[in-house]
Amino acid sequence: MNFELTASMMCADYGNLEREVKNLAEGGIDSFHIDIMDGRYVPNFAMSLNDMRYIASVSPKPLDVHLMIEHPNNRIDLFLNNLRQGDTVYIHPEAEYHPSTTLQSIINAGMVPGIAINPGTSVETVMEMLRIVKKVLVMSVNPGNAGQMFLPYVGKKITKLLSMRKIWTLSSTGTGPAARIRFLNSRRRESKDSCLERRCYSGKRGRMGRRCRRSGNCSFDNLVRSRNGRRYLPGF
């Protein structure tokens, strides 16, 4: 089973950010998830461009940037100019009049294009964009806040995407749709220090709960133990 671990830096200790980044990198995470919120597309503010730039300067690990902002095409160059080739940028299709234009800018800059699908967004409404993105971030809660209740109907959406990916991959040369389908659950455990999110990949079973399972939060110590003990998230 193939999967990656990406640390959600919205949950980091900003009084010791450099230490947090280095500890997570040494613990074996694959990337850093950066949640950018503008207070308009979502009713909250989170990380900033400066936070993203600083984390990139401390570690060579890839960044996984989730833009929860209105009209990302108006500001996309600010982010692309401070990212490295191979970093991932997700946009919300609902936040943009012409999302394919923004995705093309991400592709032209050498970044990995992705879309984030809200719980209320159907797969059918983003069908065409699935042909040009490399990653899909499936939201199991509404964007803007951690600690929300998991929305169970999202599981069917993941199953549908996985089945579509299998069909399209067989009929394509590998350039289209979403090479990776990721499931984001922002459920929070207050006793833990760092959030970790688990990517979901399609497998022969392609069923949520077997190949795709919910993500949660755990501390750096738990990450190290799980890496060595082959259990990558507590509770699974």
Q: Which among 157, 72, 74, 173 has a CA at the least distance from the CA of 117?
A: 157
Q: Distance between CA atoms of 146 and 36, rounded to whole angstroms?
A: 13
Give the pLDDT of residue 215: 36
How confident is the model over 219-230, as pLDDT tens digits?
334 443 444 444
User: Does the pTM exceed 0.85?
Assistant: no
236 residues of the chain, pLDDT tens digit each: 477 899 999 889 999 999 999 999 999 999 999 999 999 999 889 899 999 999 999 999 999 999 999 999 999 999 999 999 999 999 999 999 999 999 999 999 999 999 999 998 999 999 989 989 999 999 888 787 666 677 888 888 888 888 888 777 544 333 344 445 555 544 443 333 333 333 333 333 333 333 333 333 333 344 434 444 443 333 32
The residue type of 168 is W
The phi, psi pair for 184, rounded to 5°, reads -110, 125
Cα within 13 Å of Cα(14), Cβ side? 10
Tokens 């009209």 belong to 71
**CA-CA-CA-CA torsion sign (77, 81, 86, 92):** negative
How confident is the model over 42-75, as pLDDT tens digits?
988 989 999 999 999 999 999 999 999 999 999 9
**What is the b/e burial string over 152-170, where b = at least 16 CB atoms within 10 angstroms of the residue's CB?**
eebbebbbebbebbeeeee
Count Cβ atoms below 10 Å from residue 204 Cβ, excluding itself: 8
Contact 82, 53 (CB under 8 A): yes
Give the pLDDT of residue 176: 41
